[in-house]
Structure 1
Amino acid sequence: MGTFGLRELRQQASELVRMAENGEDVTITVAGRPSVRLVPVSPAQWRRYDDIAELWSGPADPDWDSDRDLLDQQLRDPWTR
């Protein structure tokens, strides 16, 4: 794990991002205090249906039919009033 000041971030942003991409935690300090961390993004993990099928193997929610009827069935644009 590397610790770098805000000035170093401004001067070496590309290098610090590369370090994070390669798996290193990079801590950025502001006025000597840890402020943010650059960490690698975890890649999306696609799974085959066979690997997750057990998630749907349990019983259905017995209240689903009545709960569904409580929903507003109107379709509308959420961005307009």
Structure 2
Amino acid sequence: MSHSVGVRELRQHASEVLRRVEDGERLTVTVSGRDVAMLVPATRRAWRRYDEVADIWARPADPTFAATRDLLDQQVTDPFERHA
């Protein structure tokens, strides 16, 4: 269930209100009794240990990258070179 907080209370007690949100409470901000915004906890970043993601770095991002790179290296031309 979402509780509401008036804009005046939010302005006067911003730190307290934000602590409530940080603790997981969802708040609806009201202006003159009208709902105008939702305050919800920010998603926390999920950090992973290196050994959990090491396999991602151990393999190429694209298995066809080497072939594509070799193909491009053969076709590169200087676009500013004048041909007479």
TM-score range, shorter chain: 0.5 to 0.7
**Structure 2 length-normalised TM:** 0.55
- Post-superposition Cα deviations, 1:17-49, rounded to whole Å, max 9, x if no partner, equal 110111101110123222222222232221123
Q: How does 1:18-57 map to 2 (within 5 A)?
A: 18-53=19-54, 55=56
Whose radius of gyration is greater, 1 or 2? Answer: 2
Aligned residues: 70
Q: Report the Cα offset of residue 61 of structure 1.
A: 5.1
1:27 and 1:54, CA in 2 relative to 1: closer, same or farther beyond 3 A? farther
Unaligned runs of 5+ in 2: 77-84
Gaps of 5+ in 1: 71-81
Moved segments of 4+, more than 6 Å: none
Of 50, 59, 62, 1:60 maps to 62
Q: CA RMSD in A?
A: 3.2
The Cα shift of 1:15 comes to 1.6
Q: TM-score, normalised by structure 1?
A: 0.57
- Percent identity, please: 41
